[in-house]
Structure 1
Amino acid sequence: SDSLKLSFSQDWSKSDERLLQAVGQNQPDKVAALIVKKGLCPTKLDAEGKSA
């Protein structure tokens, strides 16, 4: 499924993945820091159609 994710969205980054993980692990401080420091978009969809 990794190749599927790569072909799905070239602008999906490790930072986006970390943001999704932080949300899943209920770490609001980490979520906020990632959004602010990395300029991430919390509504961006991953290969499975999930967003932070």
Structure 2
Amino acid sequence: MAEVRPAFDEAARTHPPLREASSARQDAHPRQIRDDDLAYGLERVLDGLAARLEA
């Protein structure tokens, strides 16, 4: 990750939301980022299914 960080920073320079989100997680281990993203996505899917069942 450290090797590609400079290229990512340059590419994100013109995209403030991407740059801000990345900066908040730059010290996290890639595995932790992946696990957090999976958990977030799964929660959203389950929320959608629950809402559908309640309707």
TM-score, with length taken from structure 2:
0.31
Higher share of residues assigned helix: 2
TM-score, with length taken from structure 1:
0.32
